[in-house]
């Protein structure tokens, strides 16, 4: 392997290296004449990878200290000078606390690279430093471990279960270090002496280190090995277990991946793509089903490289601690710990993303860790605990279950949360009781991750003043905001150094868009901080439920599996489209694909598309409980399935809403079902009541229908096309005379599940 040129990234890193204090401008050393390692030493010196002890000497037989040897290993990693400076900044304070000043002054920067690339752990470095081991000679077997790590081959070494060492003194090599020695021996990086001895306890000379370093670099150049550092990369990526490998239309490879958290995705790989297995370059034959693959992409979404890392193993345990860098958990009484990086897909509660979705204060209870064969945490699912959200309190409604809070988020979306009886509330840091006296104040909430909107606790800040509204104009000294609640515009002075964010990112004041939605924090009567968002936001997903009332709440499940709620005022409805045509709110159904457009804190447009029923059958059993009803359905395709149908799921007959609780034995149903979740039901059959006591939700004269809410909370669409409408106060009325919230008695009969009214009496 001698004579091979090092790849450019190695040279870039190597030229920035400076281990010893004396510069070596020459490439020949007087003490290397006729030395067996001369070629390797002088080649590496010419590349700036190693340096002499003076301008003319190398001291080839001098023993390497552990500090020197570990730093030599860092020169194989391919870390650029730019990244090295960033890495040093990251680790500087840690290294100052661990290393003696005499070592830190010249070895700190490269030791930081060793920590970042995994050549040595913080615990190992601390132990060596405290014992004085950093300045002691390093043994050949310990050097083997550090060099294998530098070459990014430790996962392979750890996975070895059946191997044989051919050295005459193999039995004297420490068992824990034998896999590392085997790896280096297999690739020709270490060799035995004239008696085929490895001499594991013997110290390592500078000449021996240089030869091993050259061999390692040549091997890495051949196999494409380098240290890929997640924290210092910014390309897009997708990952998952390979479920199929096919041929793409352009002659490349079509790869289908299944991610344990985000489902299936297909990606086309060009014929020229770089494929790595065990960190080493390979070819398309390595793309096998069952392996975890990470596909790195450029800014246009084109696949640039594939990194294969074996099958995933699922580890489930109780969370001991977790932050955005590491999780520790207890698995069957034993402790496990995994590093988290930006190549780890994370689900925390309903949020799916990267490490940024982890809340260290959440109190997660259990975790599922999906670990690849190289020991990397590919995916992490955290359950239990709570998440933090904040906003401005809009209203509080007292209920038997607790308090319903309506909160406006900083982006203008308004959501409703429930603080159950016994829930914790603090007012300015002291335990208190929530009331509408705090409307307009800033609130911080802890929300249960296993619930869409149930709170663990809520904290109110009455001291800090916030204003929400539309930015009408601003200058370098003031800003005018139109309050979305009062529609009154007011001008506020800007504090010196005002902080401005737009869409969650810091910007300069000059880049703030007019007519955006903003939440402004006041300090001393001046605006000190502005959190701004586009005046119009769009949310897409599946309509999970509709809860009619004043206001009516729509729950939308988005692509990342989170649930966002929107409130609609039935007296001031948004534009509603269904299947591309103008419609009304009584026609939309849970299970519809929906796009919700919010403008300045109000739902402006609801665009829905109906889903085609994918399950048909006949109800064979109905069980009612506090959570809704459970039905057994004899499927038209054969077999029987059981479904739990919660309140909020749309149940219709002939396109009109009927009561969930009128479902009965032998009803034929056509349902939209996702897994075991029922999104909507179309039925035939019904009840037998001839009188309904209800509250008006929506009169629809054009359709001759009246949407009402029964005393038990059920929402029903009544056919009033042939009904008389009268008032107990005397005299006839028109359907349009009825208002939202009016109490009515409706007389008539069911036709199947549809109630046909003959008389509507306004009370």
Residue 440 covered by a domain: yes
| Rounded to 5°, angle at Cα 624 from 619 and 630 | 45
What are the phi and psi torsion angles at 325 (to 5°)? -110, -25
| 101-156: pLDDT as tens digits | 999 999 999 999 999 999 999 999 999 999 999 999 999 999 999 999 999 999 99
SS3 490: strand
Average pLDDT over residues 465-494: 91
Domain total of the chain: 8
| Backbone φ, ψ for residue 305 (5° rounding) | -160, 150
Distances (CA, A) of 692 to 165, 637, 720, 728: 87, 37, 13, 16
In 611-690, DSSP assigns E strands to 615-625, 628-635, 640-646, 650-653, 656-657, 668-674, 677-683
228 domain-assigned: no
Q: How far is CA 310 from the centre of its chain?
A: 23
**HEC-encoded secondary structure of 146-198:** HHHHHCCCHHHHHHCCCCCCCCCCHHHCCHHHHHHHHHHHHCCCCCCCCCCCC
According to DSSP, residue 721 is labeled T
Q: How far apart are CA 697 and CA 691, in angstroms?
A: 18
The whole-number pLDDT of residue 24 equals: 38
Mapped onto helix, strand or coil, the DSSP state of residue 558 is coil
Query: Can you tell me which residue has the tokens 């700036």?
Result: 48
Mean pLDDT of 570-586: 87
Within-domain flag for 292: yes
Confidence band of 665 (pLDDT split at 50, 70, 90): low
Q: Report the distance separating Cα 29 and Cα 204, nearest Å.
A: 20
Residue linked to tokens 């399935």: 641
Q: Is there a domain that residue 2 lies in?
A: no
Q: Are residues 99 and 39 in the same domain?
A: yes
The upper half-sphere exposure of residue 406, i.e. CA atoms within 13 Å in the direction of its Cβ, equals: 19
How many other C-beta atoms lie within 10 A of the C-beta of residue 234?
7
Q: Which of 587, 609, 631 is the last residue of a domain?
A: 609
Residue at a domain's end among 194, 223, 252: 223
Least confident piece of the model among 162-166, 494-498, 621-625: 621-625
Reported as half-sphere exposure (CB side, CA atoms, 13 A), residue 482 has a value of 13
> Is pLDDT at 356 greater than 50 in this prediction?
yes
Work out the pLDDT band at 53, boundaries 50, 70, 90. Answer: confident
Indicate the range of 333-347, 435-449, 508-522, 703-717 predicted with least confidence.
Answer: 703-717
Position 7 pLDDT exceeds 60? no
Q: H-helix or E-strand containing 218?
A: helix 206-223
Same-domain status, 72 and 198: yes
Long-range contacts of 611-614 (CB under 8 A, 24+ apart): 611/672, 611/679, 611/680, 612/672, 613/670, 613/671, 613/672, 613/682, 614/671, 614/672, 614/673
What pLDDT score was predicted for residue 689? 52
Is a pLDDT exceeding 90 seen at residue 666? no
Confirm whether 580 is domain-assigned: yes
Same domain, 78 and 131: yes
Among 180-194, 490-504, 654-668, 737-751, the least confident range: 654-668
Lowest mean pLDDT among 35-39, 624-628, 738-742: 624-628
Give yes or no for a contact between 692 and 710, defined as CB atoms under 8 angstroms apart: yes
DSSP-derived 3-state class of residue 83: helix
Q: What is the model's pTM?
A: 0.66
8 A C-beta contact, residue 516 and residue 412: no
Instruction: Return the minimum-mean-pLDDT range out of 1-5, 198-202, 278-282, 581-585.
Output: 1-5
Determine the average pLDDT of the residues in 521-550: 88
Residues 632 and 702 in one domain: no
* C-alpha separations of 330 from 314, 361, 520 in Å: 14, 19, 44
**Mean pLDDT, range 470-497, rounded to an integer:** 91
Higher pLDDT residue, 604 or 732?
604
Verify that 15 and 138 share a domain, yes or no. Answer: yes
Domain boundary among 323, 348, 383: 383
Host domain of residue 580: 536-609
CA distance 37 to 60: 8
Per-residue pLDDT of 700-714, as tens digits, reads 888 889 988 887 677
- Tell me what the mean pLDDT of segment 715-729 comes to: 84
Q: What is the pLDDT of residue 686?
A: 46
Radius of gyration of the chain (CA): 34
- 451 exposed, middle or buried (CB, 10 Å; 0-12, 13-18, 19+)? middle
pLDDT for 538 equals 86
Question: Residue 400: its pLDDT value, please?
Answer: 84
In the sheet that holds 581-582, the strands lie side by side as 563-568, 552-557, 536-547, 593-599, 602-609, 575-578, 581-582
Nearest to 668 by CA among 621, 617, 629, 623: 617
User: Bridge-partner residues for 334, per DSSP?
Assistant: 331
Q: Which CATH number do you get for residue 347?
A: 2.40.50
Q: 568 and 552: one domain? A: yes
Cβ–Cβ under 8 Å, residues 678 and 635: no
Instruction: State pLDDT tens for residues 163-174.
Output: 999 999 999 999
Assess whether 198 and 53 both reside in one domain: yes
CA distance 433 to 549: 26
| β-sheet bridge partners, residue 417 | 405
Predicted confidence band of residue 13 (pLDDT cuts 50, 70, 90): very low
* Residue of 651, 654, 655, 611 whose CA lies nearest to 631: 651
Instruction: Give the pLDDT of residue 21.
Output: 32
Residues 350, 297, single domain; the answer is no
pLDDT at 643: 87
Q: What is the pLDDT of residues 265-322, one digit of tens each?
A: 889 999 999 999 989 999 999 999 999 999 999 888 889 999 999 999 999 999 999 9
Match 């002659």 to its residue by tokens.
251
Q: Quick one: 453 and 475 in the same domain? A: no
In a domain? residue 1: no
**CATH number of the domain enclosing 705:** 2.40.50.140
More confident residue, 230 or 733: 230
Round the average pLDDT of the chain to a whole number and report it: 87
167 in the same domain as 64: yes
- Quick one: 71 and 122 in the same domain? yes
E strands, 227-331, where? 236-247, 253-259, 263-269, 274-277, 280-282, 292-297, 303-308, 313-322, 326-331
Mean pLDDT, residues 442-454? 85
Closest CA to 462 of 484, 490, 434: 434
In a domain, 3, yes or no: no
| Residue 53 shares a structural domain with residue 194 | yes
Residue 112 within a domain: yes
């Amino acid at each position: 392997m001698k004579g091979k040129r090092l790849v450019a990234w190695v040279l870039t890193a190597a030229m920035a290296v400076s281990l010893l204090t004396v510069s070596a401008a020459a490439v020949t050393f007087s003490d290397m004449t006729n030395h067996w390692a001369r070629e390797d030493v002088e080649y590496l010196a010419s590349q700036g990878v190693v340096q002499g002890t003076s301008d003319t000497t190398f001291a080839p037989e001098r023993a390497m200290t552990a500090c020197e040897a570990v730093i030599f290993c860092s020169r194989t990693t391919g870390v650029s000078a730019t990244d090295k400076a960033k890495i040093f900044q990251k680790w500087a304070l840690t290294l100052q606390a661990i290393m003696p000043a005499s070592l830190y002054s010249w070895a700190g920067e490269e030791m930081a690279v060793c920590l970042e690339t995994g050549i040595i752990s913080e615990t190992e470095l601390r132990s060596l430093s405290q014992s004085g081991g950093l300045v002691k000679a390093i043994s050949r077997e310990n050097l083997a471990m550090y060099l294998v790590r530098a070459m990014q081959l430790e996962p392979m070494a750890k996975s070895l279960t059946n191997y044989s060492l051919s050295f005459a003194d193999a039995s004297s090599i420490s068992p824990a270090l034998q896999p590392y020695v085997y790896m280096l021996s297999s690739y020709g990086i270490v060799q035995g002496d004239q008696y085929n001895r490895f001499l594991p306890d013997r110290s390592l000379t500078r000449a021996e280190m240089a030869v091993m370093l050259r061999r390692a670099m040549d091997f890495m150049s051949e196999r494409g090995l380098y240290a890929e550092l997640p924290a210092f990369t910014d390309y897009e990526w997708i990952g998952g277990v390979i479920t199929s490998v096919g041929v793409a239309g352009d002659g490349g490879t079509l790869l289908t991946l299944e991610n344990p958290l985000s489902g299936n995705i297909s990606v086309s790989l060009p014929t020229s793509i770089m494929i790595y297995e065990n960190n080493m370059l390979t070819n398309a034959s390595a793309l096998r089903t069952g392996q975890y693959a990470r596909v790195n992409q450029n800014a246009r979404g084109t696949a640039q490289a594939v990194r294969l890392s074996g099958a995933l193993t699922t580890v489930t345990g109780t969370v001991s601690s977790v932050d955005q860098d590491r999780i520790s958990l207890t698995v069957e009484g034993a402790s496990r710990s995994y590093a988290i990086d930006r190549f780890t897909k994370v689900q925390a509660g309903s949020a799916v993303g990267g490490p940024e979705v982890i809340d260290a204060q959440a109190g997660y209870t259990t975790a599922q860790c999906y670990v690849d064969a190289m020991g990397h945490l590919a995916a992490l699912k955290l359950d239990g605990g709570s998440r933090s959200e904040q906003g401005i309190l809009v209203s509080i409604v007292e209920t038997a279950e607790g308090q319903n809070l309506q909160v406006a988020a900083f982006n203008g979306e308004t959501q409703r949360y429930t603080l159950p009886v016994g829930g914790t509330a603090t007012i300015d840091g002291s335990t208190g009781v929530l009331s509408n006296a705090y409307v307009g104040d800033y609130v911080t909430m802890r929300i249960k991750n296993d619930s869409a909107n149930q709170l663990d606790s809520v904290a109110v800040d009455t001291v800090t003043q916030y204003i929400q509204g539309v930015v009408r104009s601003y200058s370098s000294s003031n800003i005018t905001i139109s309050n979305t609640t009062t529609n009154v515009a007011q001008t506020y002075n800007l504090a010196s150094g005002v902080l401005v964010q737009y869409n969650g990112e810091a910007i300069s004041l000059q880049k703030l868009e007019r007519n955006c939605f903003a939440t402004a924090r006041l300090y001393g009567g001046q605006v000190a901080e502005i959190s701004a968002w586009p005046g119009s936001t769009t949310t897409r997903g599946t309509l999970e439920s509709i809860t009619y009332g004043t206001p009516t709440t729509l729950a939308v499940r988005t692509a990342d599996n989170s649930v966002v709620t929107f409130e609609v005022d039935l007296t001031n409805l948004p534009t509603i489209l269904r299947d591309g045509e103008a419609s009304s709110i009584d026609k939309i159904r849970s299970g519809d694909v929906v796009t919700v457009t919010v403008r300045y804190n109000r739902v402006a447009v609801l665009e829905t598309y109906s889903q085609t029923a994918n399950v048909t059958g006949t109800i064979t059993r109905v069980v009612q409980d506090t959570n809704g009803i459970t039905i057994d359905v004899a499927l038209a395709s054969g077999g029987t399935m059981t479904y739990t149908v919660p309140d909020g799921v749309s149940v219709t007959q002939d396109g009109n809403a009927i009561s969930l609780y009128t479902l009965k034995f032998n009803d034929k149903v056509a349902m939209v079902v996702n897994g075991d979740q029922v999104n909507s039901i179309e039925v035939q059959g019904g009840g037998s009541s001839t009188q309904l006591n209800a509250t008006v939700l929506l009169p629809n004269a054009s359709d001759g229908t009246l949407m009402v809410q029964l005393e038990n909370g059920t929402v029903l669409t009544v056919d009033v096309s042939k009904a008389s409408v009268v008032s107990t106060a005397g005299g006839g009325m028109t359907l349009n005379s009825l208002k939202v919230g009016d109490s009515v008695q409706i007389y008539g009969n069911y036709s199947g599940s549809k109630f046909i009214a003959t008389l509507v009496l306004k009370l």
